[in-house]
């Protein structure tokens, strides 16, 4: 199956890399519920013989005991007659350890060799899991990315999947075998080992599910789903039963770390039925990522409040209002590999205008330096000012398309708390505001309440 260009679909935010900052996700719950003879969870796969791709993250395979647990879970699905392909990450901490090791030899590791090194983390896990599955009485077989043939481009450390040869996997499945595939890695046309970027096992999982046209792709992680907002900030936050893929894409680009954004893009492009669930719970439906057009359910207007603490804002003042100015300001910033998020340019008055944008706080000093020393003298701007203590709060929901008054409700709610809005940016399904960082928690809490997110949905 040819999967090229999959990663270019529908990215709705100006900044598409996942930033650090842990949002939305519940810390793990370790309760266990005795498993009766109930369905694994209410899903339409419970009544059919399905082909399921399960992806287990680093913490879910973090020890031999946990790997055995994964084998037990897989066995339950097999016992129901399903075909199962398992995609695994490296054991938790392993990828970091391998990168650190490489850096002890070379401060800036050679990218080709770095991929040779870090791909071994997943190779260990597939072997261990295949052994655990065999011990549990199942037929199992492990595959590295190259053995499957997950063909990628040659962009070492951030390669994109071009195609997946699913022949071997299909033959094994037909033979009642559980197929265990190494996440995060592939092979380029010249036979070089490549990796897909941090968090890339999610993308392997979804891409394999797309190639096999799996009935469901289950992403097992240490949180039990996607939340209306970070429960550590708002205890009333609820797990969402469903979220649309576009909302998930926004959430991922707004800073969530639960899924690599490329995996969400893949799911959208190939309409992969994706579910996020906890590998530490025996039961639980997790969060299903749905597609609006084939989902008859009444969607909530707003699904979640996303936020990001680490913003910084910069304004170039008194910029000559003429063609090419935006490029002259942002060109050098982008050449320095600095991601720019919200961009605002005012209407020109008397031939000049103000131009503002936000960057990650870590890159604030670098960006200010470029603007003050290179851009300002070059374009003849009056001044460059900045504030590194900004935060971004966003309300996300596909219901915005068909409902008016979301923005005014958001702005009124913030006004009632005396919170000043410094910048506003919107897309079809989200409204983001930049505010002073010190009001972030208050803003998230009042918005969560104002949009009724603490209320159990009907
Ligand atoms: N092991 C890789 C990482 O830590 C890939 C993954 O876990 O998704 O980034
Ligand atoms: Mg991950």
Residue nearest to atom 4 of ligand 1 (CA): 95
More confident residue, 168 or 2: 168
What is the fold, at CATH topology level, of the domain defined by 305-450?
VC0802-like (3.30.2130)
Do 203 and 181 contact (CB within 8 A), yes or no? Answer: no
How far away, in angstroms, is 313 Cα from ligand 1 center?
A: 31
| Vertex 82: Cα angle to 79 and 84 (nearest 5) | 105
Nearest-atom number in ligand 1 for the CA of 260 is: 8
Q: Is the CB of 200 under 6 A from ligand 1?
A: yes
Q: How does pLDDT run across 132-161, given as a tens digit for each residue?
A: 999 999 999 999 999 999 999 999 999 999
- Calculate the CA 425 to chain-centre distance: 21
Mean pLDDT value of segment 304-320? 94
Ranges of each domain in the chain? 6-297, 305-450
How far away, in angstroms, is 424 Cα from ligand 2 center?
A: 30
Q: Which of 19-23, 92-96, 335-339, 438-442 has the lowest mean pLDDT?
A: 19-23
pLDDT of 40 reads 44
Instruction: Return the ligand number nearest the Cα of 89.
Output: 1
**pLDDT value at 100 more than 80:** yes
Average pLDDT of every residue of the chain: 87
> At 255, is the pLDDT very low, low, confident or very high (cuts 50, 70, 90)?
low
How far away, in angstroms, is 255 Cα from ligand 1 center?
A: 17
How far away, in angstroms, is 209 Cα from ligand 1 center?
A: 18
C-alpha distances out from residue 256 to 20, 21, 363, 379, Å: 8, 7, 19, 37
**pLDDT value at 173 more than 80:** yes
pLDDT of 298 reads 59
Nearest-atom number in ligand 1 for the CA of 121 is: 1
Report d(CA 429, CA 168) in Å as an integer.
41
- Strand partners of residue 431: 395, 426
How far away, in angstroms, is 337 Cα from ligand 1 center?
A: 23
Give the rounded percent of residues in the chain with a pLDDT score beyond 90. 71
DSSP 7-36: GGS---SS--SPPSS--S-PPP--------
pLDDT of 259 reads 84
Between 440-450 and 406-416, two packed helices, what is the crossing angle to 10 degrees? 130
Give the rounded percent of residues in the chain with a pLDDT score beyond 70. 86
Q: Which residue out of 199, 208, 264 has the highest number of ligand 1 atoms within 8 Å of its CB and is therefore the one to mutate?
A: 199
Nearest-atom number in ligand 1 for the CA of 196 is: 5
Candidates 421, 389, 390, 398; CA nearest to 408 is 421
Identical fold at 6-297 and 305-450? Answer: no
SS3 state at 134? helix
pLDDT of 12 reads 24
Q: Is the CB of 58 under 6 A from ligand 1?
A: yes
Instruction: Return the ligand number nearest the Cα of 183.
Output: 1
**pLDDT value at 15 more than 50:** no
Do 433 and 424 contact (CB within 8 A), yes or no? Answer: yes
Helix (H) or strand (E) holding 66: helix 64-79
What is the fold, at CATH topology level, of the domain defined by 6-297?
Carbamate kinase (3.40.1160)
Nearest-atom number in ligand 1 for the CA of 89 is: 7
How far away, in angstroms, is 202 Cα from ligand 2 center?
A: 6
Report d(CA 160, CA 69) in Å as an integer.
31
């Amino acid at each position: 199956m040819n999967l090229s260009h999959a990663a270019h679909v529908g990215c709705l935010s100006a900044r598409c890399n996942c930033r650090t900052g842990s949002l939305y996700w519940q810390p793990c719950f370790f309760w266990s519920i005795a498993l009766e003879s109930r369905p694994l969870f209410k899903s339409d796969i419970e009544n059919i013989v399905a082909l399921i791709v399960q992806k287990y993250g680093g913490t879910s395979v973090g020890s031999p005991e946990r790997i055995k647990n994964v084998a037990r879970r897989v066995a339950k699905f097999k016992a129901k007659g399903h075909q199962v392909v398992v995609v695994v990450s490296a054991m938790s901490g392993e990828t970091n350890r391998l990168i650190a090791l490489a850096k002890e030899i070379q401060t800036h590791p050679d990218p080709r060799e770095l991929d040779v090194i870090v791909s071994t983390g997943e190779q260990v896990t597939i072997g261990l899991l295949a052994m655990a599955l065999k011990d549990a009485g199942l037929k199992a077989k492990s595959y590295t990315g190259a053995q499957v043939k997950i063909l990628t481009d040659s962009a070492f450390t951030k390669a994109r999947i071009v195609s997946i040869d699913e022949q071997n996997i299909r033959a094994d499945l037909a033979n009642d075998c559980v197929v265990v595939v190494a996440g995060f890695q592939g092979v380029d046309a010249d036979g070089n080992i490549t990796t897909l970027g941090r968090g890339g096992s999610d993308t392997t999982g979804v891409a394999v599910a797309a190639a096999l046209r799996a009935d469901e792709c289950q992403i097992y992680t240490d949180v039990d789903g996607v939340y209306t907002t970070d429960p550590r900030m708002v205890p009333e936050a609820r797990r969402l039963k469903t979220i649309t893929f576009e909302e998930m894409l926004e959430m991922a680009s707004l800073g969530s770390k639960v899924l690599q954004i490329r995996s969400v893009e893949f799911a959208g492009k190939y309409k992969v039925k994706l579910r996020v669930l906890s590998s530490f719970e025996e039961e639980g439906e997790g969060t299903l990522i749905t597609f609006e057009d084939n989902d008859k359910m009444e969607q909530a207007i707003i699904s979640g409040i996303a936020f990001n603490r680490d913003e910084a804002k910069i304004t170039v003042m008194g910029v000559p209002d003429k063609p090419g100015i935006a490029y002259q300001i942002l060109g050098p910033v982008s050449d320095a590999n600095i991601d720019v998020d919200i961009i605002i340019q005012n209407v020109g008055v008397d031939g000049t205008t103000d131009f503002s944008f936000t960057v990650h706080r870590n890159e604030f000093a670098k960006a200010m330096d470029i603007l003050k020393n290179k851009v300002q003298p070059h374009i003849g701007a009056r001044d460059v000012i900045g504030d590194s203590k900004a935060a971004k709060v966003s309300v996300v929901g596909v219901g915005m398309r068909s409902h008016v008054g979301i923005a005014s409700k958001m702005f009124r709610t913030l006004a009632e708390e005396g919170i000043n809005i410094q910048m506003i940016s919107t897309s079809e399904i989200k409204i983001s505001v930049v505010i002073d960082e010190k009001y972030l928690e208050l803003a998230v809490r009042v918005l969560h309440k104002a949009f009724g997110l603490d209320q159990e949905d009907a």
